[in-house]
Amino acid sequence: MCTSVLCLMCVSLLFRTSLSCYQCFVDIQDSLRLCWGYSLTKPNIRNVDACFRKLDRIFNNNGRVIEAGRVGEGYDKRLKELLDAEILPMAKEFDKKLNDETVYEERLQTAADNFIAAASKLPRVSGCFPPCGFQSAGAVYNCITCQYDSCEFPLDCPVKEIKAMENSRSQMWCEVPFHLPDDMEVIWRFAEEVETQQVDQFKEVTAGVDRLYSIPSTSLHHQGTYQCEIYSGQRSIVRLYYYLTVTPQVVAGHTELQEIFDLSLLPGGQLLPASGGPPRPHLLLPSPLLLTACLTALLLLLFLSLGALYWSSKPEKTSHAEQEDGDEDLGFLKGGKIHVVQ
């Protein structure tokens, strides 16, 4: 026989390196009552240590028990209820009574199977959504550590780049794919002209519950990094970053004019190659303005050619008689009559 102190020491030594749902939820005193009458078949003596080793094998080292205990947040209490319903009646029945080890084997294995079947029906975890944020809804209960495991993602999300034209509207949404608490608070901060995630470089611009940050008319001084941090109580849940690049309208207009100029004047309709790389020919169609100018020039040239051909084909009148005949013809016309000269 062993004293209560000795039995407690045995329990501590046996379960020191191997935890599971059994030790997470079953009190040590109830385990002592359960194992009090554990009797070995050969030799026929009571052995509490052997009982604890059996509990360790059936519950603590059983992967099916551990997996069944991976429930969503808040359901660990239900796990305790399920395990107590299997172990406590047995502990009461076996307390201060001798029972053969074969009886323990059968009854404990049945208890473990019943726990696995019932716990497996409890709601599972909703899952973790990478790459960032503290996601409490994604935590699972771990029977090895007797606590919930978080998703273990960093609070800071990668920087997203946003481009905007000067004087245009810019919008940034502080959105995440996982569930957020109802009491959340949203704080927007700004680091001017730099792309950074260094917290000390940001200055607070707004605080409240609005996850949308809007700039009605973007100007050059709006360029920089925007940080959106979501709180719940005093705890930070996630930090999102947006780097806004603003393009001046003058630069944009100059770029468009330069492209039109290159298309119109360069031979073959090719653009100049970009610096730092080999020339890359591009076959481009001429602009409508250039086509109109070319067609007008061709038509004008055609009319000039036809006029020159007409005047060059008319015979010259050099004799005096021919000149008189011409005067007579004019006289006929001035008299208001038309005469046919045969």
What pLDDT sits at residue 266? Answer: 52
Among 138-147, 179-188, 196-205, which stretch is predicted with the lowest mean pLDDT?
A: 138-147
Task: Average the pLDDT over 281-287 and give the result.
Answer: 50
> pLDDT tens digit string along 206-243?
999 999 999 999 999 999 999 999 999 889 999 999 99
Task: Average the pLDDT over 114-140 and give the result.
Answer: 87
Output 189 or 136, whichever has higher pLDDT: 189
What pLDDT sits at residue 336? Answer: 42
Residue 219 CB: number of other CB atoms within 10 A? 12
Domain ranges of the chain: 4-119, 156-249
Q: Output the six-digit token pair for 48.
A: 């509490």
> pLDDT tens digit string along 135-177?
877 778 998 889 888 788 999 999 999 999 999 999 999 999 9
b (16+ CB within 10 A) / e for 115-142 = bbebbeebeebeebbeebbbbbbbbbbb
Does the domain made of 156-249 have the CATH classification 3.40.190.10? no
Tell me the chain's radius of gyration from C-alpha atoms.
47
Distance between CA atoms of residues 183 and 15, nearest Å: 41
Residue 330 scores a pLDDT above 50: no
What pLDDT sits at residue 319? Answer: 44
Taking 3-state DSSP, the helix, strand and coil percentages for the chain, each rounded to the nearest 5, stand at: 45, 20, 35
Q: How many Cα atoms occupy the beta-carbon half-sphere of 26 within 13 Å?
A: 31
Q: Where are the beta strands (DSSP E) in 150-223?
A: 156-165, 170-173, 184-192, 203-208, 212-215
Output 285 or 203, whichever has higher pLDDT: 203
Q: Are 20 and 141 in contact (CB under 8 A)?
A: no
